[in-house]
């Protein structure tokens, strides 16, 4: 019987390992943005558990909705990266 392994994707580094990205939606600004996972890892925040982090829009303060997606760059579309416009909080 073949064995199956369970993949857990909960940290920023997991996103890169599994070729995924985290998109954030601000309902106040009605904008989607992708987090810059490479930048988070470069800044030593690769173990941040994005399932527990609340991302707030720096423009209006709304807590963003999170959506896990396949790596949007490879899927042929992408949202602007959000490290500048959204903050962890």
Which residues contact Zn ion (rule: CB under 5 A)?
26, 28-29, 57, 59-60, 62
Distance of alpha carbon 10 from alpha carbon 79, whole angstroms = 21
Q: Which residue is nearest to Zn ion (CB)?
A: 57
For the chain, the first-to-last Cα distance in angstroms comes to 45
Q: Minimum Å distance from CB 29 to Zn ion?
A: 3
14 versus 24: smaller Cβ distance to Zn ion: 24
50 versus 55: smaller Cβ distance to Zn ion: 55
Q: Minimum Å distance from CB 72 to Zn ion?
A: 20
Tokens at 35, concatenated:
């987090």
Q: Minimum Å distance from CB 7 to Zn ion?
A: 31
Decide: 66 and 37 in contact? Cβ < 8 Å: no
61 versus 75: smaller Cβ distance to Zn ion: 61
Residue 88 β-bridge partners = 55
Count of C-beta atoms within a 10 Å radius of residue 17: 12
14 versus 36: smaller Cβ distance to Zn ion: 36
Residue 20 β-bridge partners = 70
């Amino acid at each position: 019987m073949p064995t199956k392994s369970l993949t857990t994707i909960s940290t920023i580094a997991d996103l890169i390992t599994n070729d995924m990205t985290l998109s954030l939606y601000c309902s106040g600004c009605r904008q989607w943005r992708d987090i810059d996972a490479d930048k988070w890892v470069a800044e030593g925040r690769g173990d941040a558990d994005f399932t527990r982090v609340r991302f707030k829009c720096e423009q209006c303060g709304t807590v963003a909705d999170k959506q896990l997606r396949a790596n949007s760059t490879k899927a042929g579309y992408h949202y602007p990266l959000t490290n500048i416009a959204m903050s962890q909080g």
